[in-house]
Amino acid sequence: GAVVSQHPSRVICKSGTSVKIECRSLDFQATTMFWYRQFPKKSLMLMATSNEGSKATYEQGVEKDKFLINHASLTLSTLTVTSAHPEDSSFYICSAEPTYRSFRDKQETQYFGPGTRLLVL
Amino acid sequence: AQSVAQPEDQVNVAEGNPLTVKCTYSVSGNPYLFWYVQYPNRGLQFLLKYITGDNLVKGSYGFEAEFNKSQTSFHLKKPSALVSDSALYFCAVRDMRRNQGGKLIFGQGTELSVKP
């Protein structure tokens, strides 16, 4: 159980185009999903917290108009990199947190997707 | 501020020897600590977590970690390393303050290399 998928696993696009990455929780509902960016052999940088039915919360320094997040259902969050440029090339990883009834129950481990490799030419 | 430090960028171990990957933390309140492993071009796999209870936590693939409150450490250990354990390891603390949404704060990562 607790499987998270990402699609696509790898994408190559031209500079100036937009790319959408999907994150799905396959066997559980996730009110909250997280989007991370990782550079080669480096730590994960949290970009934003995605909440179902509401606006995402972006970390400081992350452009919300550049990285559009939509969490339309309890099993799907999407990250759209708009007008992508070569510096946006990276490994993007999502994680999903199972829905909880109260804050006290918010101890569940986040489950990570396999990641999406984006290369912008 | 909540933070996690992994002081070693790389750890080299011979197969069959014990391994330790170090992690120290700084949090306000009770720490929620995690270890994850990442293989090349893959997402993160959960190894183990400490929320409360016994200080020695056992996890996947024979790994364990010891929570030490006085030293604010949560070192990852394995009695006998395998070549297949070679990967990137991340220690993380979960920010459980109500205004932080439970986000994970990761250490810098430690690359473990196990040689035959």
Local structure of A105: helix, strand or coil: helix
Q: Which amino acid is at A28?
A: F
Contact criterion met (CB below 8 Å) for A13 and A82: no
Query: What pLDDT does A107 receive?
Result: 58
pLDDT along chain B (116 residues), means of 10: 91 97 91 91 87 90 95 97 96 81 87 96
Predicted pLDDT at A53: 83
Sequence-separated (6 or more) residues with CB below 8 Å from residue A53: A71
Structure tokens given for A7 = 């699609």
- Is the confidence at residue A102, as pLDDT, over 70? no
Residues 63-102 of B with CB under 8 A from A: 88, 90, 96, 98, 101-102
Using DSSP bridges, classify how beta strands A116-120 and A10-13 pair: parallel, antiparallel or unpaired: parallel
pLDDT digits 0-9 by tens, A8-36 = 999 999 999 999 999 999 988 888 899 99
Put simply, the answer to whether B103 touches A49 (Cβ < 8 Å) is: yes
